[in-house]
Amino acid sequence: MEVDRGPTAERARLLKVLSDPARLSILGALSRTAEPICVCDFTAALHLTQPTVSHHMAKLKAVGLVESYREGIWVYYRVASGLPDRISHLLDAVLSYEGAAKPTACRGGPLEALRS
């Protein structure tokens, strides 16, 4: 039996991106707030360097899960708008099992709302 490389490869790539704990924490935080989150907030909350967070964001962006915009020297991220229903349902299912600690913001930004 020959494997269909098109859709199968696309699904495998998406699942590979979702298999990293830091990326799941990032997506979890982004999904819990309507406000875009600054990359600096993730560095503080996840105790990762800015290049490491940027690497994770690039992976998430490459599969279309997040979108970003620049404001001065900072880049802000949010869950991509207009995700297909099948991707949204997959994210909901995966993130419902996500038990990472709620991050705190380095500048009192949108992550502040995630503390409880």
Domain boundaries defined on the chain = 5-114
- CB contact burial 22-60 (16+ within 10 A = b; e otherwise): bbbbbbbbbebbeebbbbbbbbbbbebeeeebbebbebb
CATH of 5-114, one of 3.40.50.10890, 1.10.10.410, 3.40.50.920, 1.10.10.10: 1.10.10.10
- Tell me, what's the pLDDT at 111? 54
pLDDT tens-place string over residues 57-100: 999 999 999 999 999 998 999 999 999 998 888 888 888 874 54
**Which sign does the torsion angle of CA 77, 65, 53, 46 carry?**
positive
- Tell me, what's the pLDDT at 94? 87
- Tell me, what's the pLDDT at 48? 93
Q: pTM, whole model, 2 decimals? A: 0.77
